[in-house]
Amino acid sequence: MSLEKSSDPPSLTVSSPLPATLSPTSPSPAKVSSILLPLAASQEASPSDQRSQAQINLLSGHSEDAPASSSDKNLSFLLDAAIYHGLSQVNVPTAFRRPFAGPPPPGATKAQCLAQVDSLIVRGDFLGAAHLAAICLTSAVIQPTDHHAIFRLLAVRYSCLELLGQLLFAAQEAKALEDLSSEFYYDVLQVTDAEIEAHGSQKPLARHIMPFLFRVQAVRLQNIGFSDPRRGVTMLYDLGLEAREHIASPYTGEPERATWVERLESLSMHVVNALIELGDLDCAQRTLSQARPEQPEAQARWASRMVLLLIKLGKVDKAREPLETLLDDSEGKTLLSSILALADGNVEESAVILENVSGQSEDTDMAALIKQNLAVSYLYLGRIAEARKLLEGLVSDGHSFPSLTINLTTMFDLTSDKSREQKLQLIGKLATREQKRPFTNADFKL
């Protein structure tokens, strides 16, 4: 058993029970990674739930909040084929490759094209969905004034590219949207003088023609594409100001006002993310501290994020304070406690914490996370055979989340001279199942 037997340096991933909102935070010695979700998702997710959460966000999340607009603004500048990168399956293991869909046949309707894109997402073929979304956008099926279809397809395209690890492609393509705060993207509701008088002589606010979640996603991608992270933070604050204006507007009804309040709260987390990506972790900590919510359920998510951020900053002792605010019997607290012990170098303590709850969770997905993290602790303790057995058992039980496959292939590298053959066997085993997520060579350290 020797590290030199592997062509890749061994790396382990400890999974967190948190959403992807704070995925950049990663303590040492083990990397904390959340399940990858579309940018604006804030719900907690488990590994095998990735597919259903991705479907929800890709199919509806970017379109359900689209404003009712009869605008005839021409978006033909987004339908240029030169904008979109050609996609390749070279980074996809052969067993998971699927043929790309061709252009829409003559007579195909918009509904048929969107339905085909949706079907690819449901099947977990995000690469095919990203490819088809670009094909539809550059075909004659989508009209330049059809904002709903254009933004929906763009959201699918960008989200699928992010899920596939092609963030830079998505960032470059998002530059074509140009200035998201320009007057071009706003519509002003036409009202009578009587209506203005009835609303305290205030005129209605201009409405952005993009769905809100898509705007947030586009802001982040443009921030990366233009290599201007500070601009991205500023734009998020501008979005927050716009949200406050809509909350205060007399034209905003109560249901819509509640929606804007939720958006304003979610923006604080996106600002924290942007600051983390900017590398300003101290400012991210201050921002997150000020964004502590009042609702008990939201406080639990906030405390979990704060724990991970403080670990990332190396403030392990201070991270215990928000951890204590979580319920003692919560599985999330158990996992975070083990991660905190691991970050503090107390590997045995981490293993004991996880052993005490292993097999007790009624949630099969949470149980899988616990066993996976326990396997990482075992590896650090030199109990490699036990760690490998745990991970192989999870695969046999139908799990295949990213940190699981990466950690198991790391075990192959550490314990065998024929690790590549073992990786290929693992790929073949997973390929016979209904896919829950897209796979790339990086998932198997190939």
CATH number of the domain at 375, please: 1.25.40
3-state secondary structure of 186: strand
265 belongs to a structural domain: no
Residues contacting 407, CB < 8 A, separation 6+: 12, 13, 372, 375, 376, 379, 391
Query: Rg of the chain's alpha carbons, rounded to an integer?
Result: 23
- What is d(CA 301, CA 29) in angstroms, rounded to the nearest whole number? 23
The position carrying tokens 């951890």 is 323
Q: How many CB atoms lie within 10 A of CB 377?
A: 26
429 belongs to a structural domain: yes
Residue 32 forms beta bridges with which residues? 14
3-state secondary structure of 190: coil
DSSP structure string for 18-57: S-GGGTT---SSSEEEPPP--TT--S---GGGHHHHHHHI
316 belongs to a structural domain: no
* 428 to 1, 63, 94, 261: CA distances (angstroms): 25, 37, 9, 47
Q: Are strands 186-188 and 206-208 parallel, antiparallel or unpaired?
A: antiparallel
Structure confidence at residue 17 (pLDDT): 47
- What is d(CA 28, CA 340) in angstroms, rounded to the nearest whole number? 10
Q: Say if residues 406 and 379 touch (Cβ distance below 8 Å).
A: no
Structure confidence at residue 148 (pLDDT): 94
> What range does the domain containing 39 cover?
3-47+328-444
Helix (H) or strand (E) holding 294: none
433 belongs to a structural domain: yes
* 310 to 278, 339, 353, 440: CA distances (angstroms): 16, 12, 21, 31
pLDDT tens sequence for the chain (446 residues): 333 333 444 456 666 544 333 333 333 333 333 222 222 222 333 333 444 444 445 555 454 454 545 568 899 999 999 999 999 999 889 998 889 988 888 888 999 999 999 999 988 889 999 999 999 999 989 999 999 999 999 999 999 999 988 999 999 999 999 999 999 999 988 888 888 888 888 888 999 999 999 999 999 999 999 988 888 899 999 999 999 999 999 998 999 999 999 999 889 889 999 999 888 999 999 999 988 887 777 788 888 899 999 998 989 899 998 888 887 777 888 889 999 999 889 999 999 999 988 877 777 888 888 899 999 999 999 999 999 999 999 999 988 888 899 999 999 998 888 999 999 999 999 988 877 778 889 899 98
Domain count, the chain: 1
41 belongs to a structural domain: yes
- What is d(CA 134, CA 169) in angstroms, rounded to the nearest whole number? 12
Closest CA to 321 of 295, 303, 296: 303
Report the amino acid identity of residue 58.
Answer: L
Structure confidence at residue 16 (pLDDT): 53
Q: What is the DSSP letter of 219?
A: H
Buried residues in 176-206 as b, exposed as e (16+ CB within 10 A)? bbeebeeeebebeeeeeeeeeeeeeeeebbe
Query: Residue 96, Cα to own-chain centre: how many angstroms?
Result: 22
To the nearest 10 degrees (0 to 180), the angle between helices 126-137 and 110-122 is 160
191 belongs to a structural domain: no
Structure tokens at 338: 């083990």
Q: Are strands 13-15 and 31-33 parallel, antiparallel or unpaired?
A: parallel
365 belongs to a structural domain: yes
Query: Residue 415, Cα to own-chain centre: how many angstroms?
Result: 33
63 belongs to a structural domain: no
- What is d(CA 272, CA 283) in angstroms, rounded to the nearest whole number? 8
Structure confidence at residue 179 (pLDDT): 93
Structure tokens at 322: 């928000």
Q: Say if residues 172 and 141 touch (Cβ distance below 8 Å).
A: no
* 272 to 287, 290, 349: CA distances (angstroms): 6, 11, 31
Q: How many CB atoms lie within 10 A of CB 119?
A: 14
Structure confidence at residue 22 (pLDDT): 36
